[in-house]
Amino acid sequence: MSFSSLFQFLKTLQQNNSKEWMDAHRTDYYKVRDFYIEWLDQLNRQLAAIDDAYFDTPGKKAINRINNNLMFHPNRPIYKDHFGAGLDQRSKQGDFYIELGVNGSYMGGGYWHPSSKILKSIRDAIDYDGERFKEILTKKSFIAQFGGLIEDDVLKTAPKGYSQDHRHIDLLRRKSFAVVHKVSQKEVESPNFTEKVIEVYQELLPFRRYLNQAITV
């Protein structure tokens, strides 16, 4: 089993996206899923060895369901076009996320459209020491890996409790604080993919730690 097999399974699934097909090929699905979980377990151990604050997240806990949530999105296909997983996962948000899919693969972290409570905590942290956050965002190696924060809708005015001329108004107007590093299928299938994932994890760590600390204060 390999990442090539994982991508091939996902491609075939998208061409036959039905419960009937999945039921007939469930053995193949479990082989691919078990391979991904085993890889996540190995990565989990490696990350724990380099990060003293790492939260142990076995592969079975890290991996996401392949079924789409049709209750809230009834027009989506039954099954996703990717395998997703969150490591260093104290909660479903703020983890180190890895997604491998036929329409794109990436690693990333942060908070995408967080709750109003979490968003307020992040803004409070930026108000207190946003300079430290900007140092993380503008570090050359960080920009090289992620480019910058994911573009998203921003407030047209200052959020409640902050002035329009706040020194960090560009950040305070944001509704999401997340970054991604995209990888090609060829990169995922290469022998050094795990090393690449660890490299991205380490570069992302100060960003994630700042945000995760912000929501606990």
Q: Are 149 and 178 in contact (CB under 8 A)?
A: yes
pLDDT band per the 50, 70, 90 thresholds, residue 75: confident
Cα–chain center distance at 74: 24
Q: Are 211 and 111 in contact (CB under 8 A)?
A: yes
Of 203, 212, 143, nearest in space to 177 by CA: 212
61 has pLDDT over 80:
yes
Q: How far is CA 31 from CA 1, 2, 5, 9, in A?
A: 8, 10, 10, 10
Q: What is the pLDDT of residues 157-168, one digit of tens each?
A: 899 888 998 999
The C-alpha atoms of residue 31 and residue 25 are separated, in whole angstroms, by: 10
Indicate the average pLDDT of the chain.
94
Q: What percent of the chain has pLDDT over 90?
A: 85
Poorest-pLDDT segment among 11-20, 32-41, 55-64, 85-94 = 85-94
* CA angle 62–64–70, rounded 5-degree value: 160
Interval 52-63 mean pLDDT: 95
Phi, psi dihedrals of residue 83, rounded to the nearest 5°: -110, 125
Instruction: Check residue 92 and give its pLDDT.
Output: 65
Do you know the residue count of the chain? Answer: 217
93 has pLDDT over 80:
no
List the chain domain ranges. 1-102, 104-217
Q: What is the pLDDT of residues 169-208, one digit of tens each?
A: 999 999 999 999 999 999 999 999 999 999 999 999 999 9
Q: What is the pTM of this model?
A: 0.92
